[in-house]
Amino acid sequence: MTAVDRTGYRDVREEILRRIRVKIWTPGVVMPNETDLAAELGCARATVNRAMRELAEEGVLERKRKAGTRVAAAPVRRAQLKIPLVRAEVEATRAKYAYQRLDHQILAAPADLKRYMNAGEVVRLSCLHLADDRPYQVEDRWISLPGVPAARSETFSDVSPNEWLVKEVPFTDVEVTFSAQTATDEIAGLLAQPKAAPVFVTERATWAEGAFITFARLHHPQTYRMTARY
């Protein structure tokens, strides 16, 4: 028996990584082209192509037409960051999820959102997410009414804007930034943290088809951790 397994793109991928680790191919140096490597490894060019393409997406290789493929010299590693729904995030820890709407009004877009939207009204929301009845995250949110007209008639008293938006305006473009900040007294109170505690702040702006949808500022207690496994 001992059926010899075909060399698949995963094998090619591993072989490439191996050769980099063993320093057969070193950072900055051009490696063989797809056709030659395919011949050497005994597979089709498409197979090598897929392996190389994925490694390039991850920042391991740098590819340029005609110039060839080389091991990234100043590697910018790329890791996938998972952005789950708050509810799912909480429930993944076997905790009971709960939601409270704190504030809800409709007003003109504030000045600091002008960077994202030109004009118009917004729904301004403030809410609290809880895990096992303990504060988990404070969410400050602005929803563009020109972008999401349906938000005007929604009260958000039971469903969090997070979840409502996912159903109403799914799969938008997202820009996320993270920072560490000192909690304001209000935030510290809501999160049941001491005054001036450090908070982990996530800011998320989203668009759909180029139209601005929403901006959210999420405050976590300082112990919040997020993991990206490469």
Among 30, 35, 39, 78, binds a copy of itself (CB under 8 A): 78
- CB within 8 Å of 67: residues ≥ 6 apart: 30
Residue 60 CB, nearest distance to a copy of itself (Å)?
5
Residue 92: count other Cβ atoms within 10 Å of its Cβ.
9
Q: How far is the CB of 179 from a copy of itself (least distance, A)?
A: 5
* Partner whose binding site includes residue 192, from a copy of itself, DNA, none (CB under 5 to 8 Å by kind): none
Go through the chain and tell me how many residues it has.
Answer: 230
Binding flag, residue 49, DNA (CB under 7 A): yes
Find which of DNA, a copy of itself, none residue 216 binds, CB within 5 to 8 Å per kind.
none
- Copy the structure tokens of residue 129: 């997410």
What φ, ψ does residue 18 adopt, rounded to 5°?
A: -60, -45
76 vs 119, beta carbon nearer DNA: 76
Contacts 24+ apart (CB under 8 A), 59-63: 60/17, 60/20, 61/16, 61/31
| Contact flag: residue 166 with a copy of itself (CB under 8 A) | yes
Could you say whether residue 56 binds a copy of itself (CB under 8 A)? no
Candidate list 200, 213, 215, 218; residue touching a copy of itself; CB under 8 A: 200
Q: Whole-number minimum distance, CB 107 to a copy of itself, in Å?
A: 27
Q: Are 146 and 106 in contact (CB under 8 A)?
A: no
Q: Where does this chain touch DNA (CB under 7 A) — which range of 61-69, 80-88, 109-117, 188-196?
A: 61-69
Phi, psi of 184 (to 5 degrees): -70, 165
- Give the integer Cα–Cα distance in Å for 93 and 137: 15
Does position 215 interact with a copy of itself (CB under 8 A)? The reply is no
**Positions in the binding site for DNA (CB under 7 A):** 6-11, 33-35, 42-47, 49-50, 52-53, 56, 63-69
